[in-house]
Amino acid sequence: MKRLFEGIIFISILLTLSVSCKYKGTPKPMGWFRIEFPEKEYVLLDSVMPYSFLYPKYAHIESDISPNSEPYWINLIFQNFNAIVHITYKNLDGNDIYEILDDVFRLTFNHLIKADDIPEHIFINDEHNVYGTVFEVKGNAASPLQFFATDSLKHFIRGALYFDSTPNRDSLSPVIDFITYDIFTLMETIRWKN
């Protein structure tokens, strides 16, 4: 009887080991959704605005109709990416450029609470009197890109990129990089209309 009991235990152990050792599972790595990016192609914003620039064909322009909006404020909407670039305009006649610049830096650096770093990219185009800066807000900030451009005499544009989602730099990074190129193109092609 003792031998029979030992034999059953031995067979049970062998069966357990043979069944449990056949499947070798491997954990799946973390992944993100695949994002299809369109080809880079630009069109000219040439309207009644006191400025013009190239913007991507896969975005569209709408007038800003928010309650506090002013003339020549627009939104550049990237519908496929749930993103929007709010663009505001100020005529510097009678406005203090230093006060406006102070607002730009204050609004940008308010993101330091969530930002890891805020590198600046300076744009200078003496031929067309366009001077400005793009701020890349690194980290989980509400606005990962902000910029301004001016001729220092009459025109001033400010822009900020926002996503209609919770800020998560890791998941939004490919889209932010894609739109950053578009913002740089916009900055390089700004032209003032008298």
| Mean of pLDDT values over 50-71 | 95
Q: What is the mean pLDDT of residues 38-44?
A: 96
pLDDT at 16: 63
- The mean per-residue pLDDT over the stretch 49-71 comes to 95
d(CA 155, CA 143): 23
How high is the pLDDT of residue 173?
Answer: 87
Q: Which of 137, 139, 124 is nearest to 169 (CA)?
A: 139
pLDDT of residue 122: 96
Paired strand residues for 86: 75, 160
Report the pLDDT averaged over residues 108-134: 88
What is the pTM (predicted TM-score) of this model?
A: 0.79
Helix and strand numbers (H, E) in the chain are 3, 12
The pLDDT value given to residue 19: 58
Q: In angstroms, how far is CA 83 from the centroid of its own chain?
A: 7
% of the chain with per-residue pLDDT over 70: 83
SS3 92: coil
Structurally, at CATH architecture level, domain 42-192 sits in: 3-Layer(aba) Sandwich (3.40)
148 neighbors 157 (Cβ within 8 angstroms) = yes
Ranges of each domain in the chain: 42-192
Question: Cβ(156)–Cβ(130) under 8 Å?
Answer: no
Residue 194 pLDDT level (bands cut at 50, 70, 90): confident
Q: Which of 57-71, 122-136, 138-152 has the lowest mean pLDDT?
A: 138-152
52-57 average pLDDT score:
97
Residue bearing the bigger pLDDT, 112 or 99: 99
Contact 89, 161 (CB under 8 A): no
Give the residue with greater pLDDT, 9 vs 194.
194
The Cα–Cα gap between 192 and 55 comes to 15
Across the chain, mean pLDDT equals: 86
